[in-house]
Amino acid sequence: MGKVLYSMNVSLDGYIEDRNGSIEFSAPDDDVHRAANEQARQASAFLFGRRLYEVMEEPWTMAANRDDLPDVEAEFARAYVETPRIVFSDTLDSVPQGVRLVRSNDAVAEVTRLKHQTEGGLDLGGASLAASLVDLIDEFRLYVMPVVVGGGKPFFAARKKLQLRLAEHRAFPSGAMYLRYERAG
């Protein structure tokens, strides 16, 4: 059975976007990028909300065809395009080959089906999608960047109490922290 793994880069004060909708503060140093690359290589599929999909898709599919990228970025680009991608959206009409579009109102049923039919990790990204799927998420993975942005879109958009236990943590030379939580009980 697959596991849903909600993973995002986040500010120290808990935001995945700043007040202007920018994620520039979360650009990882090479040490964090390498760890994220390893997770990307292990993913059975990427599950994206529309906004995160739009941020990721064009830059990383284009990057996969370039030969002038730093090794750490080229490695992620290869993993990105080799991994099935599913975007949950009610506003997109089409997606390119290699990406599957699922309507948001079908997200719970689709992710439940994927959990039962997939071995490995279903890497979930996007706070709104994560909030709609919170009861299906098995692990919460945060790459905490050493920056405070003072507001924006929170990592935890769900409005319910979650009992979690720390399963893994790692400090990076850049000052970033990796925190992996599992559901308690």
CB within 8 A of 2, min separation 6: which ones?
44, 114, 115, 116, 117, 118, 119, 120, 121, 122
Sign of the torsion formed by the C-alpha atoms of 6, 84, 38 and 25:
negative
- Taking residues 19-23, report their average pLDDT: 93
**pLDDT exceeds 90 at position 182:** yes
Tell me which DSSP letter residue 10 carries.
E
CA gap 121, 132 in Å, rounded:
18
**pLDDT exceeds 80 at position 159:** no
**pLDDT exceeds 80 at position 62:** no
pLDDT range class, residue 139, cuts 50, 70, 90: very high
Q: Which two tokens stand for residue 134?
A: 């919170």
Q: What is the pTM of this model?
A: 0.91
pLDDT of residue 63: 67
Q: For residue 164, what is the domain's CATH number?
A: 3.40.430.10
**pLDDT exceeds 70 at position 157:** yes
Q: Which domain holds residue 139?
A: 3-183
Structural domain count of the chain? 1
Give Cα 107 distance to the centre of its chain. 16
**pLDDT exceeds 80 at position 59:** no
- Taking residues 63-89, report their average pLDDT: 85
Q: What is the pLDDT of residues 85-129, one digit of tens each?
A: 999 999 999 998 889 999 988 999 999 999 999 999 999 999 999
Sign of the torsion formed by the C-alpha atoms of 151, 92, 73 and 119:
positive
- Taking residues 24-42, report their average pLDDT: 93
